[in-house]
Every structure is written in C-alpha cells, then in structure tokens.
Chain A
Amino acid sequence: MKMTGLSRLTETLRWRTTDRRCCMPMVFGYAANAAGISLKDALTQTDALVSSQIIAQRLFGYDAVHVYGGSVTEVESFGVPLVFPETDYPYIDPDYKPVNEDALADQPLPDPTRHGRMPYLLKSVKTLRQEIGRQVPVVAVVTGPVTVGAQIVGLETMLMGFVEQPERSRRYLEKISLLSRNLALAMVDAGAHVIMIMDPVSSQSIMPPEVFRRFSLPLLQNIFRSCREAGVLACCLTITGKVDGFFPLYPDIGADIVTLDYEVDPAQAFHRLPNLVIQGNIRPLDFVEGHPDDIKKECKNLLHLAESRPGYILAAGCELPLNSKQANVEAMIGST
C-alpha cells in the first residue's frame, strides 16, 4: 500500500522500512520559483507561501512542506532593517550598524505572535497543517541562536567574544535563544510536525568543537527539549559544511534528525551516528549545474549505502538552490 509522506517520515523515525525511501529536500524559496509565484510574495504573504509549498510538493511528490521566511526572520523581529529583493531572500540593510552585545541583552524580547514576519509564518504553518498536514509533514524552520547572534552583533565580534568575554557572549545568546525557543514552540502550537533549527554559523568551519560544545550545544538542547515537551513529532538540526568533529556531541543535542552536507563522508556519519536519522548529502550545486544523470548517480550511491539503514532521508544537506533545474529535482524523487 502506498504510504503518505507523513507515514513515511513517521516510520523512518521509528527506523522501520517504508514503501519507498523518505525524500525531504529542503524546498524553501525554490517552491515559489517552481510554482510560478513571486519569491518576495512567498516570503511576505501567507497565501503565497502556502500555495507555493502545496503546488511544488504536488508537482514533485516529495515528502514534506516547509515554512521558512529566510535566515533573517528572527533578526527582523529585533528591529534590524532588511532589504527585500524581488527574486531573492531578504538580507540585512548594508547600512545597519551592529549593536553592542550588552544592548542586545537588554533589548525587549520579540513576541512571535506580534513582531516582524513571525505571525505570518505561524499562520502559514497553521494553514498548511489544515490543508495537507494529514498527508505531508509540515516542517517549520527556525534560525539557530548563534546564527542570529552573529547577524545582530557581527560574526567576527561574536567569535572574538567567545574567547575574550565568554560570559557576556552567553548572556546575549541566551536572550536570543529564548526567542528561538518561543518561536519554535509557537510553530509547534500552530501545527508543525517538525522543528528544523538551521544554524549555519555553528559550523565546524567557523568554530572548533570545544566552542560549539560551550556555546551552541546548550542552547540547541534547550530548544529541542522544549519542543519535545510540547509534543513535536521530530526535531531536526541543520548545520551546513563539515560537522564530523561535532559527531561525538550530536547524540546529546536532542535532535531526531541531523542533516549532512556534501562535504561530510556519509559512510563515516552512518557509522558514527548509529541512532540518529540522517538526512542528506547530495551536492546542492548539482541541482543547478548538474545533469539529471549526475543526480541519479549520487542518489543511487547514497541509497545503496543506506540500504540496511531505515534511518536515512534522501535530500541535500542544505537548501535546494533557488535556481535548481526541475529535471534534477525530478531525478532525485525518481530515484526513491
């Protein structure tokens, strides 16, 4: 019997076999492009976001829909000014001057139900859950607190602060993580099946494992713990780039699923993370520059490697690029 995307994910989380391999590419803004909807609209209007996600999911048949407002959603709620291009994600106004870490710690905490574009994202989760949530899991994406911190105070300032003023760093990051946690909980309350924390700055290419352990790990643990208590189906951690140095810490984070970028050896990850569902690690650029045969080959290799591992989800370990070729996305789904 053909399973739904939701049942495929549920069974994968239980490490049980499915009718075909669960396939959950991170289709964020690409959904708008595939659906012929303005990306700017999909990032600012519930109807556009919901329509683009449903159209793209039905077009390709993958196993999840996503609610993502861009990596600057949280900083926007702190009052950081953004620029909204027509065909790309919003970014921080180049004239923005990063705030002092102490000032950030003292700022009032934004409310996910009232500030920035967070209310529209919550409404999108709710609508998607109502529209297709019985068949397809709704994945709500929250930016990791360390990434948000880097955006607000500046990455270099934040990294140097870890070394020179660790307590000060902890103080403002804990403040930000309260927003991340409150947003995640509001997403769960609105109906999200999965909370995905995207934390690209908590990458091994940016910080050594010891810094990750001291600063990122406790914040991520706290958010995932709260989501579990609120009854979320699954918690997912997405850190792009190399992460194998963090593997000894991964089982303690509290995530059910961890994504794996193309730079990490999947065989090693399967071996070293025997109890975590792994999602990845197709090379994202291949969806843009590659040929469907390249994608099929990558998928075949990954599926072969994961043959005896029910806890694997086919995808890239990073967002599907905005300018991906439709034939390449079809090739990935066709490989399952």
Chain B
Amino acid sequence: MKDFGSEVPMVNTDELAIAIAKGENIEAVALAQKLLDLGLDLETMVEAGPTKALESLSNKCNTDEFCLLEILLAGRAMMDVMEQVVSRHADFSAMVEAQNRPSFVLGTIKGDMHDLGKNVVAMMLKLEGYHVIDLGKDVEPAKFIQVAVKEQASFIGVSSLITTTIPAIKQVRALATQAGLDHIKVLAGGAVLRQAEPHHLNVDFVAQNVFHLLRYLRGECGEKP
C-alpha cells in the first residue's frame, strides 16, 4: 500500500499490478480508472501498474514459472489499461511519437511459418515502448535489411522454430554488414534457436524468452527506450 500524500486518499496500487499480472483485464481497467479518479497522476499509475506487473512477470520468468497463456492474459490486461484508461487521459500516440523510440524490425525468417512467439515478442516490445515493425512470417533475409534501412532501426529480431532456417538466419548479419549497418544489433529467438550460441547463428544475441530479450534491450538502451 502506498500513501501518495495527504492530497490523495490512500490508494492501493499493488492491486492494479496484481490484477494485470494475473490477466484480469476488466478488473485492471476498473482499478486503473479508480486510481486516476482518486487523484493519482497518470505517470505514477503507469509505473505502479503496467510497469510493475511487467517486472513481476519478468521475475517469474527467471524461475521458469511463466507460460504463454499467462503472458497473453497479462499482455491483454496491460493493453486494455493503456488503450481504455491511459489514452483517455493523454494523447498517448503523441506521447509515444515524442519519445523518439528505437525501431525494432521483427519477423519469422524465410522457410518458417510459425509466428505466435514472434507475435508475443511484438506485443511485449510495444508495451515496453519500442516502435515495432512486424514483417510477419517467411521473411527473406534481405527484407529485414531493406526495412531496417528505411525505418532507421536499431534492432532486427529474427525468429524461428526449425533448424533448416539457420543458413538464412546467418545471412542477416552478413547482409547488414554489407549494407553498412554494423551498428544494428541482430537478435534471434525461438524454440530451436535458443539452443544455439550467438556465434552459431552469426547474431549479436540469442534470447531464451521474451523477458530475456527485454533485459538485454534494457542493457543496450538503458532502463527503457
């Protein structure tokens, strides 16, 4: 329980973080609105609710106690709070544009049609504040580079679930270097890729899961973009 001072009645922000982490989206929206109605400022609510919930999921992830269903439910609750509450009180898109967020080009590599894990990563990156350009699935290595140039991206994320795509994944870094994009970090993830070391895939980082990726990005970009 946090006391935000005498001007604001005692409000329990922990309940909001818990509701989001448990995926209770309707309750989360109601609690977020109630906190604002009680006088809590928008930024504090976002920090105490969605941000704290994300951290608690990340901590669960460290002990392998999370699963996709929980992430989907919590992600939906976070999105609902942002879209149904936060955006009513602020021009959220203008806030986001003003932040000049790093761009993240994301896709499932050529030869692979699996995209659910990639979609979850896209959702979490957006919640973390990145400008995500999702290229979908079965994406040619050269396409990642073309879009990264166009969008002035800081990161390229390549996803795959099968081993036969590894030669195509190795091309991404090589093509980026050819295009003079050595500053762009090439990141990989997915059920099969996470068995590999970065040098096996010719990438800068291999994420074990979405939270592992977020922790890496916080190291690269600071606490948040």
- The chain A residues found within 8 Å of chain B, CB to CB, are 87-88, 91-92, 94, 155-156, 159-160, 162-163, 204-208, 211, 240-242, 262, 283-286, 288-289, 321-323
The contact of A323 among B113, B119, B163, B196, by CB within 8 Å, is B163
Q: Check A207 against B196 for contact (C-beta < 8 Å).
A: no
Flag whether B1 is at the interface (Cβ < 8 A).
no
Q: How far is the CA of A211 from the CA of B23 in the complex (A)?
A: 15
- Whether the Cβ atoms of B192 and A323 lie closer than 8 Å is no
Instruction: Assess the B69–A289 pair: CB atoms within 8 A.
Output: no
**B96 interfacial by beta-carbon distance below 8 Å:** no
Judged by a CB distance under 8 angstroms, whether B220 is at the interface is no
Q: How far is the CB of A203 from chain B (nearest CB, A)?
A: 8
Q: In the complex, are the beta carbons of A262 and B67 less than 8 A apart? A: no
Q: Which of A92, A156, A241, A262 contacts B116 (CB 8 A)?
A: A156
A289 x B166 contact (CB < 8 A)? yes
Which of A162, A240, A284 has the most B CB atoms < 10 Å from its CB?
Answer: A284
Binary contact track B181-220/A, C-beta < 8 Å → 1, others 0: 0000000000110011000100000000000000000000
B23 CB contacts on chain A under 8 angstroms: 163
Contact B166 A288 (CB under 8 A): yes
What DSSP secondary structure best describes chain B's contact surface?
helix
Selected from B68, B76, B113, the residue in CB contact (under 8 A) with A207 is B68
| Contact A207 B67, beta carbon cutoff 8 Å | yes
| A-contacting residues, B3-53, CB 8 Å | 23
13 additional contacts (CB under 8 A) given A206-B68, A286-B195: A87-B164, A94-B137, A160-B72, A160-B76, A162-B69, A163-B73, A206-B69, A207-B67, A207-B69, A240-B191, A285-B195, A285-B196, A289-B196
Residues from chain A with Cβ under 8 Å of B76 in the complex: 160
How near does chain A come to B136, taking the closest CB pair, in angstroms?
A: 9
Check if B129 is an interface residue, CB within 8 A of chain A: no
Docked-complex contact B163 and A321, CB < 8 angstroms = yes
* Given A159-B72, A242-B64, A323-B164; A88-B111 close (CB under 8 Å): yes
Given A163-B23, A204-B67, A94 and B116 contact (CB-CB distance below 8 Å): no
Find out whether the CB atom of B111 lies under 8 angstroms from the CB atom of A285: no
Which of A87, A94, A208, A240 touches B70 (beta carbons < 8 Å)? A208
| Cα–Cα distance between A205 and B116 once the two chains are bound (Å) | 13
Q: In whole angstroms, what is the CA distance A286 to B200 when docked?
A: 11
Which of B72, B73, B163 is within 8 Å of A285, CB to CB?
B163
Interface residues on B, range: 20 to 34
B138 within 8 A of A: yes
- Considering the chains assembled together, what is the distance between the CA atoms of A241 and B67 in angstroms? 11
A94, A262, A286 pick with most chain B CB within 10 angstroms: A94
Q: Determine the distance from Cα of A156 to Cα of B116 in the docked complex, in whole angstroms.
A: 8
**B97-130 contact mask (Cβ, 8 Å, vs A): 1 or 0:** 0000000000000010100100100000000000
- 24 A-B pairs whose Cβ atoms sit less than 8 Å apart in the complex: A88-B162, A156-B119, A159-B69, A159-B72, A160-B72, A160-B73, A163-B23, A205-B68, A206-B67, A207-B69, A208-B70, A241-B191, A242-B64, A262-B195, A284-B163, A285-B192, A285-B195, A285-B196, A286-B195, A288-B166, A289-B166, A289-B200, A321-B163, A321-B192
Q: Across the A-B interface, give the 4 residue pairs with the lowest CB-CB distance, nearest first.
A: A285-B195, A321-B163, A206-B68, A91-B113
Q: Report the separation of the CA atoms of residues A323 and B113 in the bound assembly, to the nearest whole angstrom.
A: 18
Q: Smallest Cβ distance from B203 to chain A, in angstroms?
A: 14
Distance (whole angstroms) from the CB of B142 to the closest CB of chain A:
20
Nearest CB in chain A: distance from B79 CB, A: 13
Q: Which residues of A contact B113 (CB under 8 A)?
A: 91-92, 94
